[in-house]
Chains A and B, each alone.
Chain A
């Protein structure tokens, strides 16, 4: 009896791992553990044995069964895995290019805007938006720009006809609509709506009546930055500028304020920055943008008391920053949308 059981066990150990199909496994397992299987038959013989033999043989049969059953399961698993693996198809060639569309690209201007907004965000600024179509009042008057200022001339700013009506851009009185010549108009809309304290950045398009060339574009992008609160000082303006340019152009970046003039800030400055990390322009002062302390007249125009509040503002040219950052020599690349250009800027 013992020999018989060992023989069955040996056969199972040999046959199951060698089985080539699930049917074969089924047949083998039926022939051993099935109702008509040999092990089942052996089990049935137990009552015919000596009383003393019965538990010994029973144990042997159970032991054999517990060894055979995993072999059956293993055989099935092996064959099922193989079946599923077939669905994997042919072995791949790791050197062939991937299939499906590669990730697209974020336009370098968008990427630059995001980068700058991320930097400001960490300093507690949030994004404000306003329309590209503006009115003379929001674009000029509210920003303390006198009526006869050259920027207001039809030679420099793009106007809509007198008859134009715009459903979702509010007018102050009966002034003309125009395409905003700077994003500073967002300051006005935001302060009028939200009051102070306020700390915003406003990325967006601006428009000038310029002939397109390597450095001029019919539209361009700016990020307007405005902070108005109690006790904002010139030192705070310098601090945020240093913070911005160190984040953008490396820790070695320095800024310099050159006195200038804008109707909406007093004092006003041109910002130059210098970095050792900007290729062939390293170590030179580079003129980058205008800035200043918000003119008290602007605060009054939006209904804030200049005795209580003060602030700073500046408008950063996105194209200019992107051109410096990536050594792009012609502004027209941004608007030609050639993928050989777009794909060079795959950063987040």
Chain B
């Protein structure tokens, strides 16, 4: 809200405190200042009223004049060179003396110095209106027709200057959506007097006052617990007085007419929205507050027609709705130029209801904004009385002596017990008793000592946010200033708790992939559901209920898409790179439609995207992707050596036959995929290079599976003995079938021999001469070792030959 300093001064004596000090104090009270605007003349030092005693032509210029100007009753006139021509000798004008700083648009200011203009000394400057920052008039000097005393500071001539603070309030401070509220805070902060307006109208209240303009008021909804109406007969609608128009305009409101202006004035003064009805338009003299009927229509003051649902609260007369309660009046009942009898409504509406109506129909008014932040229910009657006083003052008429009041305030002042010890225990430093009392009193709270460093604090209804002792602690800190909090060291007791294993995994995985030359990415969690639907089964279940845009309407099912985006971006920017990875959460629905949130790491290696080098770099391939995937599993704590990888089928993101994986988040808790990204998919995204990728995803608890410390196993100190063999198998035969078979046979053949097959590794795959078309030769290195002895050639040969014989029963061995 916009608060005018001049207006604030009506309730708090802020004299002698500069606008800058106030602008600095407000945020430290929790009232954020969005902007500070100066209206009228800014404070200008060394600018005074001067009288032009003479004018001589400039010896060296046609348009300049050399004037003698008297700027002080007690000193000699000074010589000023001036280019204007609209003045005559004897005129009084503003004179900026040397050292004065005039406002400029860039805010830096323009300093006046003694100088020579075409050889003639000039000791100051006579000013136009624009040069003083008073509007745009620059046609000549600002002639002061009122002839103020010579030497008068210019700010004493133009006294209607004001500073307007645009204040942004947190949701809890509805009380400060008013000049009275802000003035109370400032008075408390600066230790100044605070006073509210004196109220003359002191009505009796009745549900149906005799002689009033209303027959009856009926509250049919809990959203309006209290309704007050003041009747004023025979007003004369006219423009508001000058002071009221000025104040309203300073607060950013347009003046309309005296009656409407009064309601707005009280709104800005007390923070209580009021509404003025033309009594003629209240059919049957009845006011009924009720919920709208489904589909009911109302045309509001802004001429928009709204179709309502039952959650909107309406003010109705005997036959129709006349206002959306607390939000906006209806077009059918507003005050017009010929209105004579007015009904002023002052009510309390349920904040939540007003907020939801305001949001739902996108109507934000000064009124709804305040009601939504919980208006002071006790202040409602005060505001009605103030409005009556002001209408009597500005529009005349007769105020009906008894005001209409139905219902009662939903909350009352409350007592909070608090002790000095509680405050000091909360803040950690000394809080003197006198200061505690002074602070609470300055905020308008009642303070009653309960002895022994304890008080009963009575918090009036205007502070809906202060309910508990801890709220009072906040008030205390706010008023004494947070700069009083002393500097102390961090003291912290060690706790037996370690970082979440997921964090540790993410750090280790990122460090690993980074050291392998990949760049870490961050991509948005939200994806386009229509694009995900093509790639991931069931991804429609990942759609949000209320997405902001269609390209971000769904949770991501995989990290790979984001990485492909990164690849596309960098390829199109001609950036060289090797690969990308990301750690993050992904979401996957299962067959039953249940979503799981999974942690994941994905990477891509883009073939031929590296910066050109003087030596051809190794191209990434399937096995490079498998390396990374297996190492990530091992970082996660999964022994990849024990896993059975098989080809991935029916997953459109992968190129058929070029991708493999294993695991399931449901069963093992993790899942891994690696291989080539679908070529068709890449081309569809404008990527013309092959991409090898991998993703491991897991339920976050997998990272934390308890692993006891590894137990050391002793290893033999005797040398191994190695033998090689080669097996010819069909091209499609997985290598692991062969090595598993060898391991199995070796197990049988070494039984009881005192040594065993330590490892069997494929070291070559050969196709070509000597191997039939459609077949391949797998060369395996067998390593034997004993834990007890150095192996003799003969005993190893014996076992090796037995293995070969057994193997050759089913397989064709290739001569070595």
Contacts and interface: CB of A to CB of B under 8 A. Distances in A.
B490 A239 contact: yes
Interface residues of B, number: 101
A155 B543 CA distance: 16
Contact of A106 (B32, B510, B597): B510
A295 B594 CA distance: 35
Contact of B524 (A133, A259, A335): A335
A52 interface: no
B548 A338 contact: no
Interface residues on A, range: 35 or more
B432 interface: no
Interface stretch (B118-126, B435-443, B610-618): B610-618
Nearest to A244: B490
B482 A109 contact: no
B42 interface: no
Contact of B490 (A106, A123, A203): A123
Contacts of A199: 492, 495, 497
B426 A310 contact: yes
B49 interface: no
A166 B596 contact: yes
Contact of B590 (A110, A167, A338): A167
A336 B488 contact: no
A218 interface: yes
Nearest to A342: B519
B520 A104 contact: yes
B294 interface: no
Interface string B741-762: 0000000000000000000000
A83 interface: no
B529 to A, nearest CB: 12
A123 B492 CA distance: 6
Contacts of A236: 428, 488, 490-491
Contacts of B587: 133
Interface stretch (A21-29, A32-40, A146-154, A275-283): A146-154
B349 to A, nearest CB: 13
B36 interface: no
A338 B488 CA distance: 43
B485 A260 contact: no
A258 B27 contact: yes
B808 interface: no
A131 B597 contact: yes
Given A161-B543, A266-B470, A99 B519 contact: no
Nearest to B356: A148
B362 to A, nearest CB: 10
Contact of A261 (B173, B548, B613): B173
B591 to A, nearest CB: 12
A202 to B, nearest CB: 9
B514 A104 contact: yes
Contacts of A107: 519-522
Interface in B488-532: 488-495, 497-500, 502-503, 507, 510-511, 513-526
A132 B617 contact: no
A160 interface: yes
A78 interface: no
B525 A205 contact: yes
Nearest to A296: B470
Contact of A99 (B569, B585, B617): B617
Interface stretch (A56-64, A67-75, A227-235): A227-235
A11 interface: no
B552 interface: yes
B520 A257 contact: no
Given A160-B544, A235-B427, A260 B499 contact: no
A234 B427 contact: yes
A257 to B, nearest CB: 4
A264 interface: no
A126 B170 CA distance: 32
B700 A104 contact: no
A12 to B, nearest CB: 37
B205 to A, nearest CB: 30
Contacts of B488: 235-236, 238-239
Given A154-B545, A234-B427, A342-B519, A257 B482 contact: yes
B359 interface: yes
A214 interface: no
Interface in A90-144: 96-97, 99-107, 109-110, 114, 117, 121, 123-124, 126-129, 131-133
Nearest to B483: A256
Interface stretch (B574-582, B641-649, B650-658): B574-582
Contacts of A310: 426
B463 interface: no
Nearest to A129: B500
Nearest to B350: A148
B357 to A, nearest CB: 11
Interface in A247-283: 256-261, 266-269
Contacts of A164: 541, 595
Contacts of A268: 474
A258 B30 CA distance: 6
Contact of B570 (A132, A229, A296, A338): A338
Contacts of B699: 168
Contacts of B173: 261
A194 B595 contact: no
Contacts of B579: 104
A132 B525 contact: yes
Nearest to A96: B614
A265 to B, nearest CB: 9
B730 interface: no
A245 interface: no
B107 interface: no
A234 B492 contact: no
A254 to B, nearest CB: 10
A218 B544 contact: no
A197 interface: yes
Contacts of A109: 522
A243 interface: yes
B547 interface: yes
Given A124-B494, A235-B486, A261-B173, A343 B595 contact: no
Contacts of A209: 546, 548
A207 interface: yes
B578 A168 contact: no
B520 A218 contact: no
B351 interface: yes
Given A194-B497, A236-B488, A218 B552 contact: yes
A334 interface: yes
A99 B613 contact: yes
30 contacts: A97-B613, A102-B517, A104-B578, A104-B581, A105-B514, A106-B511, A106-B520, A126-B497, A126-B500, A132-B525, A153-B359, A158-B544, A158-B547, A159-B546, A167-B590, A179-B525, A194-B497, A199-B495, A207-B526, A210-B548, A231-B425, A233-B427, A239-B487, A242-B487, A257-B485, A260-B30, A337-B565, A337-B570, A339-B519, A340-B573
**Top-9 shortest CB links A-B:** A101-B517, A233-B428, A235-B428, A259-B30, A148-B352, A267-B474, A124-B492, A261-B170, A337-B566
Interface of B: 27-30, 32, 170-173, 351-352, 355-356, 359, 425-429, 465, 468, 470-471, 473-474, 477-478, 482-483, 485-495, 497-500, 502-503, 507, 510-511, 513-526, 541, 543-548, 552, 555, 565-566, 569-570, 573, 575-581, 583-585, 587, 590, 593-597, 610, 613-615, 617, 699-700
Interface of A: 96-97, 99-107, 109-110, 114, 117, 121, 123-124, 126-129, 131-133, 146-150, 153-155, 158-162, 164-169, 176, 179, 194, 197-200, 203, 205, 207, 209-211, 217-219, 229, 231, 233-236, 238-240, 242-243, 256-261, 266-269, 293, 295-296, 310, 334-340, 342-343
Given A218-B524, A339-B577, 13 more contacts: A96-B614, A104-B514, A104-B516, A107-B522, A124-B492, A146-B352, A154-B545, A159-B546, A194-B497, A233-B428, A235-B486, A256-B483, A257-B482
